[in-house]
Structure 1
Amino acid sequence: MPTTILCVEDEADLRADLAEELLAAGYDVVEASNGEEALDYLGHSRPDLVLCDITMPKMSGLELLARVREQPAFADLPFIFLTALAGRRDVIAGKAAGVDDYLTKPIDFDLMLITIAARLEQVARIKGITPPVAPVEPISIGSALLGANEALNRMAVGIFLLDAERKVVFRNRRAEDLLGEADGITLSRDGLLRGEKPQQTNALREMIDLALSRAAAGSRQPTQALALSRNSGRRSLFAIACPVAREPVATGEPVVAVFVSDPERRLSQAAEAVAQLYGLTPAETRLAMALSKGLRLDEIADEFGISRNTVNYTMKNLFRKTDTDRQADLISLFISSPLILESD
């Protein structure tokens, strides 16, 4: 069963952000805007963890925690406070009431998810719940690559996996689209990649042969890019080959990957896609997209209804995750990365 988090926060925008981050991490979320709403929910249901603000109208987080700890059924329920109050007296008061942990505002969402996971694991350990460990079976690189076909199908670059005989043994969705267009690259009846003209086909075969020879030598070095002209007059496709396994391998197993990109193709959701590659949270993605649209930090804070401190903290996380240190570099990364994931 999915893990349920009860999120108690009176600020609607922050509560929505917290819920979005938790849902993205795979949790079920129940929202409450104050302690009384949370107590009503706890009267008929038991979440796996409570994430709760301290300062709220009607009933504070400390009052809610005290009421929860009065009930023996909730004695082991993990309870984490969200607070802008991080003074010694506040921490002591929370610990005395039985809180398990504190998260200080503005919220570091990565730290929040790590803290929640640690608390849930601790409870599972105390209860003696050990997740089953499946036996690890050895698999070939071909099985591993083909098993990742959903991820490969979401890439906006055409991917062809070839065996030692240069035959295509796998192609992702974008590769199928390129073949369907029959403009720059095609597939022969015997499963070999072909260009528009004989010289293009020869150049493509030479590129693949070079990648195969590097695979046999144990090298992972890709080839140089090859331009594949198109009869339509549109800009040439660009292809590059890269070894993915060392020969010899089983018959039909991928040895070389050929990546084909189309410079004419424009992607409407490039920023979100690049964010997936860098493991950004939804809040970090929204901030990066707003920056890419030319919004200033104060405008972003106003549009999203968050404080400048939260914006600045999120910016620091963006710089750290993307290994950048200037807004200009960050924006450039989001609008020009060559590896994009397509949305469904």
Structure 2
Amino acid sequence: MEDEADLRSDICEELIAAGYAVDEAGTGQEALDLLRDERYDLVLCDITMPRMSGLDLLRQVRQEPDLADLPFVFLTALAGRQDIIAGKAAGVDDYLTKPIDFDLMLITIAARLDQVARIRGTRSPDDGESQNLRAALMGADEALNRIAVGVFLIDSERKVLFRNRRAGELLDEADGISLGREGLLRGEKPQQTHALRDIMDTAIARGADGARQGSEAVALTRESGRRPLIAVACPLGRGPAAAGEPAIGLFVTDPEWRSSDAAEAMAQLYGLSPAETRLALALVRGLRLDEIADDFGLSRNTVSYTLKNLFRKTETDRQADLISLFLSNPVARDTA
């Protein structure tokens, strides 16, 4: 940015000849409009300008989050100590004095851009991976709604940003876990709420420190007397999450939950017939073979024959293994 047209033209020619892409502005407002529309690597700016001075422009730029780290180099005939102090206080990165030494200008710009590249290069290579992971999870609602585990995506202030369908069901049941008005998860009792908060805080801190491995767990007792919910918190990325991004995942399992849809998914996976699927569900409910025969109006031999087919198709040989196979299936339902 330079209000003297001839000097501005000369500067642009030198920069273009050196291989830089350049946009020019004759006033502070023109420069500000350009900065808000495009992303630049560096600003070369005259201090003494009509209406909006270079210092005024710099102060405005430093107040805008998207522009706060943009390198700023002043062109000035004002090279006194107080002028330099004022510029540094406003956040300028470097000075070039008039009349301009174009060789020095090119070296200064190249050095400043190299410094920026080095600073950016010190960021963890996992930053992009973490951002991609967080974005993918936020956009994976359809897939997350199909699993039988309650999934909450939590920000760095422990507020819920997303919950899948199963998590919503757990909140509706209000038996062991609930959602407060402020968007924070709560346990049945204060000590359960504190325990839940502790595992989330630990996971958030671990992620902020760059460690994505490991998880924290707590059992959430239930007023109904049913077995406790199991809540597991783990970081979603290495490094602090940005505002509005999930920092951790909280996965809540109900050990007593059963889903016929999970059995349907298993039936499709292993090619089970309706009769074989019904038998598997009955076994999961804890019924004995004689009870199943009575309930279904079948002979014991028919039930035993169906069970043998189940063993063969699922590659199991004991009822306990068959039941475990069905209970471990994470698929909850079709979202259609």
> How does the TM-score come out when normalised to structure 2?
0.46
> How does the TM-score come out when normalised to structure 1?
0.45
